[in-house]
Amino acid sequence: MSIVQQLIEKLQKGDAKSVAELTRQAIDQNMGPKKILDDGLLAGMAVVGEKFKKHEIFLPHVLLAARAMYAGLDLLKPLLAKDGIPVIGKVVLGTVQGDLHDIGKNLVGIMLKGAGYEVIDLGKDVPPERFLDAAQESGATIVGMSALLTTTMPVMKQVIDLAKERDMFGTLKFLVGGAPLSVDYAREIGADAYCFDGVNAVECVKSFTVER
């Protein structure tokens, strides 16, 4: 079995130690970091995402797989930068105030980083002004917000309304996600895109699907 196939398998099993070892081996064999990422780690995560969607695996597996992915990604990060994957955009990312669900947000962050975006991760329970302050400080043009609770969804609108107040609305793209959201909701609050999972978040960022 090739190294990338082994990576895909071990990542699915959430075996962080093996994923780190295999990533190290692949690096030592001069496999390019982009290939290790795309054909190994991201391919493995995509399978995990599909299986999770079909209820073939459950949340603890997703968590372990994500952790294993980080173990490999940590080794690749410096090489990816050296390999000259251009930073194609900066994204401020966070889970909105009052909401502690951050697994999906973290997965989205991984995918975006892998695709060459710089991700400024604000964590969870992020107050509205923090999103905008961080965008201003970093020069990011995309703001990604996550909410998993119907009670915290309205905070996304608060962020967008605050951007309008601060005259930042025109210069920022707002990307929203989380299980209770929908394209209609994204449109209603003035967001530029809604993405339903981490696998398609990158495509979502590239081609904003919700028109203003």
The residue within the footprint of ligand B12, chosen from 149, 162, 168, 202 (CB under 6 A), is 149
Q: Point out which residues pair with 89 in neighbouring strands.
A: 117
At 58 the three-state DSSP class reads coil
Q: Point out which residues pair with 174 in neighbouring strands.
A: 143
Q: In angstroms, what is the minimal distance from the CB of 85 to ligand B12? A: 20
In this structure, are residues 177 and 192 in contact, taking their beta carbons and an 8 Å threshold? Answer: no
The residue within the footprint of ligand B12, chosen from 44, 96, 105, 140 (CB under 6 A), is 105
The residue within the footprint of ligand B12, chosen from 6, 177, 191, 208 (CB under 6 A), is 177
Q: In angstroms, what is the minimal distance from the CB of 5 to ligand B12? A: 23
In this structure, are residues 65 and 71 in contact, taking their beta carbons and an 8 Å threshold? Answer: no
Task: Specify whether the backbone of 178 is left (phi greater than 0), alpha (psi in -120 to 50) or beta.
Answer: left
What are the φ and ψ backbone dihedral angles of 176, each rounded to 5 degrees? -125, 155
Helix ranges (H only) for 29-114 are: 33-35, 43-53, 59-82, 103-114
Q: In angstroms, what is the minimal distance from the CB of 1 to ligand B12? A: 27
Instruction: Return contacts of 44-47, CB within 8 angstroms, 24+ apart.
Output: 44/7, 44/8, 44/9, 44/10, 44/11, 44/12, 44/69, 45/11, 45/69, 45/107, 45/110, 45/111, 45/198, 45/199, 46/199, 47/8, 47/12
Query: Does residue 159 belong to the site contacting ligand B12 (CB under 6 A)?
Result: no
Written as six digits, the tokens of 146 are: 């996550």
The residue within the footprint of ligand B12, chosen from 75, 146, 160, 172 (CB under 6 A), is 146
Query: Does residue 198 belong to the site contacting ligand B12 (CB under 6 A)?
Result: yes
Whose Cβ is closer to ligand B12: residue 57's or residue 204's?
204
Q: In angstroms, what is the minimal distance from the CB of 162 to ligand B12? A: 17
Stretch that binds ligand B12, among 9-17, 30-38, 144-152, 165-173 (CB under 6 A): 144-152
Interface pattern 37-76 for ligand B12 (x via CB under 6 A) = ------------x---------x--x--------------
The residue within the footprint of ligand B12, chosen from 103, 162, 168, 183 (CB under 6 A), is 103
The residue within the footprint of ligand B12, chosen from 101, 130, 157, 187 (CB under 6 A), is 101
Given the rule CB under 6 A, which residues bind ligand B12? 49, 59, 62, 98-105, 107-108, 144-146, 148-150, 175-180, 195, 197-198, 201, 204
